[in-house]
Structure 1
Amino acid sequence: MKRRQFLTFASAGLGSMLIAPRIVFANVESDRRFVFIIQRGAADGLNTIVPYADPAYGKLRGGLAIEDSIRLDGMFGLHPSLAGLGKLYQEQQALFVHGVASPYRERSHFDGQNVLESGGTSPYQRKDGWLNRLVGMLPQSQSEAIAFAPTIPLALRGDRTVASFAPSALPEAPDDLILRVGKLYEADEQLHSLWNTAMEARALGAPEEKRRDAASVGKTAASFLARPDGPRVAMIETSGWDTHSGQAGRLANQLRALDALIDALRTGLGDAWAQTTVLVATEFGRTAAANGTGGTDHGTASAALLAGGAVNGGRVMADWPGLATSALYEGRDLAPTLDLDALIAVTTAETFGLDPQRTMRTLFPDGRHSAALSGIVRN
């Protein structure tokens, strides 16, 4: 095996064994960072950003109603598990958008996620993803994006090449071999640099149980994004948001983990946090009323969360439809009044200094730009 072939194999092998899964990075030329966190499973927006002042909320939710929310304004409160985001809100570095939905109006997780990630208006209409198309709009610093996951998420599939590294069952390379290979490449300027990069990735490794910890995932993502020559776009997949039963404890744990992930990003990014936008969104929301098993069923509109030093925060954006029976979508769901596609397009355009209407046409060809959602990211 030639030296360059071996280095490629070694770098990929070490990365696949040791780097946290479910993260995707893309390399572009920019000082700004953009992180998309997808909540797979339909996160309950009504108990995340709580409309505590809506008179119908408590009646619909019953025992699931959040009574100790962190007050944001005269209408909305934040779930108490999101204390870190609450502090960012007070520091005007977090913004919440309620009553938001993609064009999808059915209740299938697979179809809803397909529409959200592809940027189409119906399931399987498009084969590529909006995040891949966004990367294509930006000047490239390297030729590939990297997914530390078994498969590439649809949002990043497309013309821009993405390499996928999944955790491997192979045994870890012995320290003696690592030292000998390092010595072999000491005199080679190009290979020495590449080997050092591989070793930095190896150093970020952790046991399998820690790799799945939300804070560890955030720390790993930040360690790449904070580097002067590192990636500037990341996607992080989270799951477990389908709370048909026992929602109170399960949602609290999910939100606590999300809060820890974002806090780890903030801490790990250091000064680069000031140039960062984090967008959290889900495929659809959950029913306005609780069901008979202490949970909620598949719904329509939900809430999106934004955080980062670049975010023009300290507010809740909502064209609130209300939770009265006559106002509910199909008599059961929070009605969608804001467009998630437009929110994504505006947020990414303002993050990277792109023309918002051109960004909308590229990322969501059948969507419409919304000037009402402007001013999310600071100049």
Structure 2
Amino acid sequence: MGQGIDRRGMLAGSLALGGASLAWPRMAFARVAGSRNLLFVLLRGAADGLALLAPVEDPGFPHLRERTLPDYADARRAEGFFAIHPALDAVGAAYERGEALFVHAAATAYRERSHFDGQNLIETGGTRPYGTKDGWLNRLVALHAEAHAKAPPRALAIAPTMPLALRGAAPASSYAPSALPQASGDFMGRVAQLYAGDPQLGALLAQAMETRAMAETNDLSNLRDARAAGELAATLMREEGGARIAMIELGGWDSHANQPFQFTRAARQLDALLGAYAAGMGSAWGETLVLVATEFGRTARFNGTNGTDHGTAGAAIALGGAVAGRRVIADWPGLGDGALHEGRDLAPTLALESVLAGAVAEHFALDPKTAMARLFPGRGAAPLAGLVRG
């Protein structure tokens, strides 16, 4: 890591639970697995981790993302090395309260760049696309019931159809109100990319995409829908008989063109959803873990249409009253030309499966090794520890 920061030291230091990160008074909550809540938010379309949590102190970042530096001038800092995207205001505030942490340079075992295959693996927890039929969240429901000798916890997807992550033998249901944030396709972005080399059409399409993105950014209906989804999730989870495990999907992250506008729009939606959910959970927030992840990251360099293409490693978020926060967990690989994966992507140094398995195991008082083997079988990495307060 640049500027004298040891990249492996950051990982080791981020797992230490003492010191200033826990210096303020907090309410204590008993670790009762049956009363704890999990919300999994899947960002469909490959959210750019280098935009979500920008490594502004890495000497390679200005060379790769110089045009975005002004966006982070007054942004909240994380570990001094990173800057939280300014659209993530509620998330940044949670980080400063010690209720959120970031994981960076993380990826699943998938190393190709297909949305369909990548999403299949992050939902099933399998080792190859379409090789596993049920989802890791569904297996978590079953494992929770077995480990605690109780009826399966209620599991719910706030989605029009049951997402793959919750499909399987364990009971789960879905609920779809009329106003949920819809996943946006990347057709226009791909058209703009196709004509990027055309001096006339390329410029016109890029301008049209920018105008379209700016108009959608100012359309508060998307933010209202996101808030409504967060409020609904809280309503269905905060009571004693409510769902204990839930999932929400949020699209709009496939930023092949005009990424600064498109990412900001999607990040505002995410922030509105999470802020509304946290507020709606009330006292149950102290027993809550929210995991936010995406199928893979994006290229370190911008393309010819002011966007980014499908990449490898990215960032994830864990937040909630149960999280041991105000940390960045990263074995940072650096952004120099020799450090980039295949010369183009942020290199993966952490297994996202280890993060997910470790977090839910601690949260629900499950054996970590068993959780890793059941939820993400066939992995060599150990589940990550120290993410959740005991």
The TM-score with structure 1 as length reference comes to: 0.78
CA shift at 1:345, angstroms?
A: 0.3
What is the alpha-carbon distance in structure 2 between the residues aligned to residue 236 and residue 142 of structure 1? 20
CA shift at 1:212, angstroms?
A: 6.9
Q: Secondary structure at the match of 2:56?
A: coil
CA contact (8 A) 1:64 1:290 kept: no
Partner of 1:231: 243
Q: Does 1:260 align with 2:266?
A: no
Q: Does 1:374 align with 2:379?
A: no
Q: Secondary structure at the match of 2:266?
A: helix
Partner of 2:373: 361
> Unpaired runs of 5+ in structure 1?
1-27, 169-208
What is the alpha-carbon distance in structure 2 between the residues aligned to residue 82 and residue 144 of structure 1? 30
Of residues 170, 179, 202, the one that matches 1:160 is 170
Q: Does 1:71 align with 2:83?
A: no
The change in CA–CA distance for 1:145 and 1:273 in structure 2 (over 3 A counts) is closer
Partner of 1:107: 113
Q: Does 1:275 align with 2:287?
A: yes
Q: Does 1:151 align with 2:151?
A: no
Identity of aligned residues (%): 52
CA shift at 1:143, angstroms?
A: 8.2
What is the alpha-carbon distance in structure 2 between the residues aligned to residue 347 and residue 73 of structure 1? 21
After TM superposition, the structure 1 stretch with the greater mean CA deviation from structure 2, 99-108 or 61-70, is 61-70
The change in CA–CA distance for 1:145 and 1:316 in structure 2 (over 3 A counts) is closer
> Unpaired runs of 5+ in structure 2?
1-31, 179-220
Letter in 1 for 2:113: R
The TM-score with structure 2 as length reference comes to: 0.76
What is the alpha-carbon distance in structure 2 between the residues aligned to residue 272 and residue 213 of structure 1? 23
CA contact (8 A) 1:214 1:260 kept: yes
What is the alpha-carbon distance in structure 1 between the residues aligned to residue 362 and residue 339 of structure 2? 33
The change in CA–CA distance for 1:91 and 1:146 in structure 2 (over 3 A counts) is closer
Q: Does 1:35 align with 2:39?
A: yes
What is the alpha-carbon distance in structure 1 between the residues aligned to residue 44 and residue 263 of structure 2? 13
CA contact (8 A) 2:155 2:246 kept: no
The change in CA–CA distance for 1:148 and 1:319 in structure 2 (over 3 A counts) is closer
Over 2 Å off, 4+ runs: 64-69, 139-150, 161-168, 209-212, 368-371
CA contact (8 A) 1:360 1:368 kept: no
Partner of 1:131: 137
Report which of the two structures shows the higher radius of gyration computed on alpha carbons.
1
What is the alpha-carbon distance in structure 1 between the residues aligned to residue 124 and residue 237 of structure 2? 24
CA contact (8 A) 2:158 2:247 kept: no
Partner of 1:333: 345
CA contact (8 A) 1:342 1:368 kept: no
CA shift at 1:361, angstroms?
A: 0.4
Letter in 2 for 1:375: G
Pairing of 1:299-338 with structure 2 (within 5 A): 299-338=311-350
What is the alpha-carbon distance in structure 2 between the residues aligned to residue 92 and residue 211 of structure 1? 25
What is the alpha-carbon distance in structure 1 between the residues aligned to residue 317 and residue 83 of structure 2? 13
